[in-house]
Chain A
């Protein structure tokens, strides 16, 4: 899932200070699961902002809302009236949600309340770790199911580097060295031959380095006829 973290309170308060009617909109998807921007977090932020505005003598109105998936227009439309009625939308979704609202209502100002961080997994309660960076060309079948692009600080394809110490990464001794882990996993599977050959340079053109990516699935796209039908239903 996409893991995000709420911005520091002081930064959010400063961002929203000039605006009178503020709609704080959360999301029930990834950011709710990672405890950053779901219903509970929206409520907490709204009360904190109200309190701060009152304390500092600012006349501001805050309203908290939550949509199912803020990155999808259909769900955002459900709160269209509230968005149009605001001076500011403070999105508590990941940046995808905030940008979806911004792109749908270009006259409306949308600010992010979260810092969107990683494609990660919950390791334990309150701990999420990065395991993918969306490079667009998955190779984990050759690395024991462990992604070196995301999990090695230097994204090496021929690791581990000389800084692997007791199986930990020199960049952060709390974090496992991805290549040490790859070596151990492949040893366990009796497949070490996979990393004995030289891995050639990676083609990064499938990643963000190739420019902004738009994935098109022609077979999934609606025909003109289907689009018209959908409009009619609305």
Chain B
């Protein structure tokens, strides 16, 4: 697939890719996006704009993408199946492509029970896998889910997410295989804290040859405090945080510094892991640390590929 996506070019060049996340504001003010775009320019190959993450109403992912593109950085829009049926999803894909957005991350989406509009009606017409399969057909064959053919199909590079740390563990590589079969070009994993468990998942992924079919971005999440680590261990379903990591954060003199150090070490380990093609840095509410992490992990300068 040649979509013109910078992220695609970096992957295709064989370089170790870096992506990061910019959380859209809970307001109509574009300034936080512009601010982060200026700050992060040159430190990652593309930036995820979350789609009403945890079902909290925020400035839309597509609008956020256009705002950061004005600053000269490349977006990855997220499109969840929670709020839009297949008419809206396909329509927004066409719209996103027309606006010059080249990367789309397909997600089922966090249930609305977690957010600030608990009384809303959920959609879930698709799930992430069927979303990918429909988008892939639309871009390759110009054919909609309902069969109608369209002129000028969208030019998009398609991503997905997978969580090696959710049950049943033995099905998680299979689930990635399903997403690859559906047409995913790249995958971002859930934040990794248990490196042994991630290695085990990667063993299965490699055994199935999936690392040759899909570009794998390993997810990392820098933590500020031991409390944050404990919260993720105990309160976030599908997250595994080993006790050693919590202890390390707890015993550190400066937990923020320790969090950065840990994140950089994780990236070093992931860089050396066969089949891992890049990292996705989820510095939630801590975007300003991304430049430092990328630099200390020896990932600068970011490649410029024509």
Known: A156-B124, A196-B174, A198-B129. A164 touches B108 (CB 8 A): no
- Total A-B residue pairs with C-beta atoms closer than 8 Å? 97
Give chain B nearest CB distance to A203 CB in angstroms: 10
Whether B163 sits at the interface, judged by CB under 8 Å, is yes
Determine if A171 and B166 form an interchain contact, defined as CB atoms under 8 angstroms apart: no
Give chain A nearest CB distance to B89 CB in angstroms: 10
Determine if B108 and A154 form an interchain contact, defined as CB atoms under 8 angstroms apart: yes
Whether B296 sits at the interface, judged by CB under 8 Å, is no
Could you mark each residue 148-166 of chain B with 1 if its beta carbon is under 8 Å from any beta carbon of chain A, else 0? 0000000000000111001
Instruction: Please name all residues of chain A whose beta carbon is closer than 8 Å to the beta carbon of B145 when the two chains form the complex.
Output: 201
Determine if A199 and B129 form an interchain contact, defined as CB atoms under 8 angstroms apart: yes
Instruction: Please name all residues of chain B whose beta carbon is closer than 8 Å to the beta carbon of A173 when the two chains form the complex.
Output: 237
Determine if B130 and A170 form an interchain contact, defined as CB atoms under 8 angstroms apart: no
Determine if B129 and A177 form an interchain contact, defined as CB atoms under 8 angstroms apart: no
A59 CA / B87 CA spacing, docked (Å): 55
Give chain A nearest CB distance to B138 CB in angstroms: 12
Determine if A154 and B127 form an interchain contact, defined as CB atoms under 8 angstroms apart: yes
Q: Number of residues in A with C-beta < 8 Å to the partner?
A: 32
Q: Which residue of A lies closest to B240 (CB)?
A: A165
Determine if B167 and A165 form an interchain contact, defined as CB atoms under 8 angstroms apart: yes
Interface size class of B (residues with CB under 8 A): 35 or more
From A157, A163, A167, A177, B130 is in contact (CB under 8 Å) with A157
Chain A interface: which of B24-32, B175-183, B281-289? B175-183
Give chain B nearest CB distance to A64 CB in angstroms: 34
Q: Interface on B for A, CB 8 Å cutoff?
A: 81-82, 86, 108-111, 113, 122, 124-130, 133-134, 145, 161-163, 166-168, 171, 174-175, 177-178, 181-182, 190, 237-238
Q: Interface on A for B, CB 8 Å cutoff?
A: 153-168, 170-171, 173, 177, 180, 183-184, 195-202, 204
26 residue pairs A–B, Cβ–Cβ below 8 Å: A154-B81, A154-B109, A154-B122, A155-B124, A155-B127, A157-B130, A158-B129, A158-B130, A160-B167, A161-B128, A161-B166, A162-B161, A168-B237, A170-B111, A170-B237, A170-B238, A171-B113, A177-B167, A196-B177, A197-B178, A197-B181, A198-B129, A198-B133, A198-B178, A202-B125, A202-B130
